[in-house]
Amino acid sequence: MHEIKSKLWNDSVWDKNKKFSDILNQLRRDRSINVSGLGVSASASFAAAVFKAMNRDLFIILPKERHIGQWQDNLEVFTSNPVLPFPLDYPTLRIEAAGKLNMEKPVILLGSRKAYEEKIISPSEFYNRVLKIIPKKTTYNKLLDNLTGGYYVRNKVVPEEGDFARRGNGIDFWPPGRKNPVRVLFKDNIVESLKEF
């Protein structure tokens, strides 16, 4: 698979195309471009060639978010750099992806215009909101405020990262990057216990 990927990458038809050079020059002058008339695979090949030539983070605006998976699969054929989803309905994925921007290895983000326009919390602000939950000290309201202010999504259960649920005398939540959700039980509005489940 690596040999096929390398061959596709090194023998790009785009590198030999005059129009492609003109497009790169526009991008280097920080002008946006609109590409149409290509199928998903050809568009992914084009985007990967732009990404390689520019060697910086690339934001791809898709007309519909349901195309993110297909684009991600196609782009991963043409590049070994991270290709990250940036979906509107999953703030934790957007926060995670935003945290990888401006790093040593450039990334490609895939999302809709709405997803890019929707304000998200910055990674530094996200980490500043981290709350150390201490039994016998942390209050119910403090944890609840931290979850709602930290862009967690309230649900009846916690099926995925970034969700939280109020459950009787407790709160369940699933922190990003954790294998399992956490259950915090309260007595008299103060943390009595916490455990993964």
Res 126: pLDDT = 65
Residue 71: partners with Cβ closer than 8 Å, 6 or more residues away: 40, 43, 44, 60, 62, 83, 110
Strands 153-154 and 163-167: parallel
- What is the average per-residue pLDDT within 35-50? 88
Beta carbons within 10 angstroms of residue 172's beta carbon: 18
Provide mean pLDDT across the span 68-97: 89
Please tell me the pTM assigned to this model.
0.59
Integer CA distances (angstroms), 74 to 47, 61, 77, 93, 143, in order: 10, 15, 6, 20, 41
**What pLDDT shows up at residue 10?**
47
- Binned at pLDDT 50, 70 and 90, residue 9 comes out as very low
21-37: pLDDT as tens digits: 888 888 888 888 887 88
Question: Which residue spans within 7-79 are E strands per DSSP?
Answer: 58-61
Confidence (pLDDT) at 121? 66
Give the C-alpha separation, 90 to 3, whole Å.
35
Res 166: pLDDT: 92
Q: Per-residue pLDDT averaged across 58-71, rounded?
A: 92
pLDDT for 48 equals 92
